[in-house]
Chains A and B, each alone.
Chain A
Amino acid sequence: MSAPTHRDTVGPPIRVFLVDDHQLFLSGVRSELGEQFEMVGHAHDVPSAMAGIRATGPDVVLLDVHMPGGGGGAVIRAVAPQHPEVRFLALSVSDAADDVIEVIRAGARGYVTKSIAPAELAQAIRHVHEGDAVFSPRLAGFVLDAFAGEAPPRSDPELDQLTAREREVLRHIARGYAYKQIARQLHISVKTVESHVSAVLRKLQLSNRHQLTRWATDRRLV
C-alpha cells in the first residue's frame, strides 16, 4: 500500500460497512478491523448491500469488486447519488485491470487487493474517509498504462492527459513510495501529493479515453 503515514483518529470511530460474498473473508476482516472501527454491518450481494448501506449510513464502504448480481460498480451507482457522503473503497482478489478501472469509474475512492496487510487496510480506510484517494502500486500502474500515448482526437486535454507532475507522482506510487516519501523526493508537500492523486482519480472517472475500457483486454494485463 502506498501511504502508511499514521494519523491519530480523534472523535467518534469511523463507521465501516463491509460488502463481500466470501463469508470467510468477511469474518476475517471484521475481526481485524473491529478494534479500530465501528463495523456497522455487512452484506454479501448487491441488493442486500444497497439496503444495508441505506439503512446504516456508514462513513466508508469496503466493497468487493466481484459479487453475484452486478458487482461493486452496481452498488456504487445505485447508492452514491442519494448518499454522496458515503465513501467507497474497492477491495478485490481480482487484479484484472478492467474490473478495477470499472469500479473506480463508478465512484470508488481507491482500490486495494485482498492480500493487503491489516494495518495498511486500516490506513487506507482512514485515507478514504478523509476524502483522499488510495492508489495501490498496481492501480497506479494501470492508470499510467491507460493514459499512455497520445490523447484521442477531439478530446478534452484537461481530462484525457496526465500532467507531467501527476505522472511523476503515479510513478513513485508504482515504485512503492508512500505519499510522505514522494513529497520529499519531489520537494512538494504531502497535501500537494494528495491533490495530484485526487486529480488523477477525477480524470480516471471522467475521462473519455477509450483505452480505459479497452486497453486492458488488448494487453491482457493482470
Chain B
Amino acid sequence: MAGVAAGLADRLGVDHVMVRLALVVLAFAGGVGVVAYLLLWAFTPEADAAEGAEPRPPGGRRQDLERAVAFAFVVGGTLLLLRQAGVWFGDAVVWPVALGALGSALIWTRADDAGRARFARVASRARSPVEGVLTGRLSRTRILLGGLLIAGGMAAFLAANNALVAFRNVVFAVVVTVTGVGLILGPWVWRMGRQLAEERRQRIRSEERAEMAAHLHDSVLQSLALIQRASTPQEMVSLARGQERELRAWLFGRSGPSAHDLLGTAIEEMAGRVERLHHVKVEAVVVGGCRVDDRVQGLVQATGEAVMNAAKHAGVDALSVYVEVEPEQVSAFVRDQGKGFDPAAVPEDRRGIADSIVGRMERAGGTAVVESAPGEGTEVTVRLGRRTP
C-alpha cells in the first residue's frame, strides 16, 4: 500500500506479487502480517525516486526461480513457527488462504514481463517441464495449476466451514447459466468466425485477381492495342510473338528473382530481344541449365551476336538456337536455313561480325566456329568448357 511490498520485493529480488501475497497469508496467521507490514513501513528507508524508477536488473531465470522458492520456504517456515507459537487463527482459515495465495502467485507473478518470456523461449529446450510451468513459456499449464491450487484452497475453506453444499448449488447454477449463454451465443460466435475466414479468403482472391488484371493490362492489352495500330504484317506478327513469349514466361513461372541468373532465361530474353528488333522468329531450345557467371555471360552475348547476324543477313524469317549444358561444356548452336555464304570469300562487314563472335568466345576461354556455304544456310557453333568445381 505504502510501497512497502514493492520495496521489499526489490530488496529481496523476488516478485512483489509474491511479497504481497505472503503478507496477506501472514496477516491471517494471527495478524502477524499486519504487524510486519507496519514495522516494515516504519523502518524501510524511503527509496530514492530515481532508484525506484530504475528497473531491477534482470536476474537469470534460474536465479529468479531459486529466489522465489526460497522466499516461499521462508514464508512457509514462518507460518509453521507462528502455528507452533499459538499465534494462529486456526487451520481452517490459514491453510486455504496459503493455498490460494500460492495459486495466485503462480498465475500472476510477472506475467507481464515480456523480456522474461523471450528468455524463456530461447532457453525452453534446456529446461525441465517443472521449470517450464513456472516461467510463462507453458503459461497454460501454469494457469491451470494455479487455478487448481486456488480452487483447492476455496474448497478446503468451504469444507472447513461446512459450506460445501451451498457451494455446490452455486456451481450448478453457474454451469447452467454458462451453458445457456453458450447455446444462445455459440452459433452466432461460430458464424462470426466463419464469416471472418470467408472474408479473408475473398480478400486474398480479389488481391490475386487485381494483380493478374494489372499484369494483363500492362502487357496483353498494350500489345493488342499495338497490333491494331501495326502497319505491316511482320510488325503484327512480331508483336504477337513477343507478347506470347512474355505471357508464357509469366504463366509457366520462368520469371522470378531466382530464375534471372539462369542460362535458359538469359537465352530466352536474348531471343525475345532479337525477335522484337528484326521481326524474325527465333526458336530457342535449352537443354540442361546452369548459372550465368561472367564466362557464361560471354557465351550468351556471342550467341546473341550470332542470332542478330543471322537475323540481319540470312534473309529468313525463322532461325533456331539450341543450347546444351553438359557436365564438361556448354554449347550453343545458331542455325539459319538462309542464303548462306562462302567463308573463303566473305564481304568485309560479315568478316568483322564473325571475328567479333570468335574474339568474344576466345576472351571467355571458349571457341567459335562459323560454317556456311552458299544456299546451304549458316551455323555458328560456340563452345565453352566448364571449370570443374
User: B-contacting residues of A (Cβ < 8 Å)?
Assistant: 95-96, 115, 137-138, 140-141, 144-145, 148, 171, 174-177, 219-222
Contact = CB atoms under 8 A, between A and B. Distances in A.
Interface in B336-380: 336-337, 379
Nearest to B285: A141
Interface string B222-251: 000000000000000000010010001100
Contact of A148 (B241, B253, B287): B287
A95 B248 contact: yes
A174 B322 contact: yes
Nearest to B332: A175
Contacts of B285: 137-138, 140-141, 174
B248 A175 contact: no
A18 B241 CA distance: 24
B254 interface: yes
B292 interface: no
Given A141-B285, A175-B320, A220-B253, 20 more contacts: A95-B252, A115-B241, A115-B244, A137-B285, A140-B285, A141-B286, A141-B287, A141-B322, A144-B287, A144-B324, A148-B287, A174-B320, A174-B324, A175-B379, A176-B319, A176-B336, A176-B337, A220-B252, A221-B286, A222-B248
Given A221-B264, A222-B248, A222-B249, A176 B322 contact: yes
Interface residues of B, number: 25
A176 B335 contact: yes
Contacts of A145: 287-288
B376 to A, nearest CB: 9
A137 B322 contact: yes
Contacts of B320: 137, 174-176
Contacts of B182: none
A137 B318 CA distance: 13
Contact of B283 (A138, A148, A171, A222): A138
B11 to A, nearest CB: 66
Interface string B312-325: 00000001101010
23 contacts: A95-B248, A115-B244, A137-B285, A138-B283, A138-B285, A140-B285, A141-B285, A144-B324, A145-B288, A148-B287, A174-B285, A174-B287, A174-B322, A174-B324, A175-B322, A175-B333, A176-B335, A176-B336, A176-B337, A219-B289, A220-B252, A221-B286, A222-B248
B335 A177 contact: yes
A217 B129 CA distance: 45
A67 B379 CA distance: 39
Contacts of B249: 222
Nearest to B258: A220
A148 B288 contact: yes
Nearest to B289: A219
A221 B265 CA distance: 10
Contacts of B244: 115
Nearest to A145: B287
A177 B334 CA distance: 11
Interface in B280-305: 281, 283, 285-289
A141 B285 CA distance: 6
Nearest to A137: B285
Nearest to A138: B285
B287 A176 contact: no
B372 to A, nearest CB: 14
Contacts of A221: 264, 286
A39 to B, nearest CB: 26
Nearest to A144: B287
Given A137-B320, A141-B287, A222-B248, A175 B335 contact: yes
A144 B333 CA distance: 15
The 8 closest A-B pairs by CB, nearest first: A176-B320, A141-B285, A222-B252, A176-B335, A175-B322, A175-B333, A174-B322, A144-B287
Nearest to A117: B318
User: Which of A138, A140, A221 lies at the interface centre, i.e. has the most chain B CB atoms within 10 A of its CB?
Assistant: A221
Contacts of A141: 285-287, 322
A187 B130 CA distance: 82
Nearest to B325: A148
A220 B281 CA distance: 23
Contact of B254 (A115, A148, A171, A222): A222
A95 B379 CA distance: 25
Contacts of A174: 285, 287, 320, 322, 324
Contacts of A115: 241, 244, 281
A144 B326 CA distance: 11
B299 to A, nearest CB: 16
A116 to B, nearest CB: 10
Contacts of B254: 220, 222
A138 B264 CA distance: 13
Nearest to A143: B287
Contacts of A175: 320, 322, 333, 335, 379
* Residue among B244, B248, B287 facing the most chain A CB atoms (10 A cut-off): B287
